[in-house]
Amino acid sequence: MSLSSQQEPIELECRPVLKDVICRFGEKCFHDVHYLCNFTPAANTAAPVCIPEDACVFDAIVTNLDITSVERSNGCARVCGNYDLFVFFRYDDQRLVGQAVRNNVPFCVQVPMTSINGGCQEIVCEGGKRFETKVCAFNTRLEVVEAVAEQDNIDANICAGCNTRIRVVVEKVFRAFEHGKQVLCIPVCPPEVCVPVPTTVSPFCPPFTRPTECPSFCEDDEFFTPDNCDTCPPPQIDD
């Protein structure tokens, strides 16, 4: 076949459209360390007391995440908020169970963001009106990964008047992005080149399949004679 008889490549046309898109994105994991100093024994619901020196933590949870602010900060998204901590421990020779609680524990993290397809372009319209972009954030993981009772004076006296504290490590992952209206190019065929596909053609329907776990197998068809898959020798007939 000659080069002249080969079909020329179709050059697509660009149709500009205005859409809300994500133009910067980032994700980061953080470990925040917090300290609990007091708890309220079941027999004394009025006054909190110090964490017992023989406290042994057996469970801890973080809950009620509340993102209070998201703002730009030197190429990052600064995410601030708070959550609640609950730590469960045994004490008094492992005979009693205590619960230490800290509500509204504050945090602030900075999530670096990188540009997507050149980042966010500034668009100015008549009258000097600009299309503004916004920075948003959301959480994908929030979990206590460590909680341990330790002496309060090993590095600093964090819990005033108490000898023992509970150290809690919270792991959290935040994703941040900047979005706004941007001009995009949608490729389209020139009308004289691209012929519409007939609507009478039935859509392709793939068969339902599942991957097999067998390294090899024989197929037995109830209507058609399969290949001979019998690898066992015929039975011996005694004389």
Q: How many domains does the chain have?
A: 1
The pTM score is: 0.68
The phi, psi pair for 4, rounded to 5°, reads -70, -25
**Residue 104 lies in domain:** 23-116+133-179
What is the DSSP code (8-state) at residue 130?
A: B
The reply to whether 216 falls in a domain is no
Could you list the pLDDT tens digit for every one of the 239 residues in the chain?
A: 444 445 556 666 788 888 888 999 999 999 999 999 999 887 666 688 999 999 999 999 999 999 999 999 888 999 999 999 999 999 999 999 999 999 999 999 999 999 988 888 888 888 888 888 899 999 999 999 999 999 998 777 889 889 999 999 999 999 999 998 888 888 877 766 665 555 555 566 665 455 756 555 555 554 455 555 554 545 455 55
The reply to whether 3 falls in a domain is no
Task: Look at residues 34, 105, 32, 35 and name the one whose alpha carbon lies nearest to residue 68.
Answer: 105
The reply to whether 161 falls in a domain is yes
The reply to whether 196 falls in a domain is no
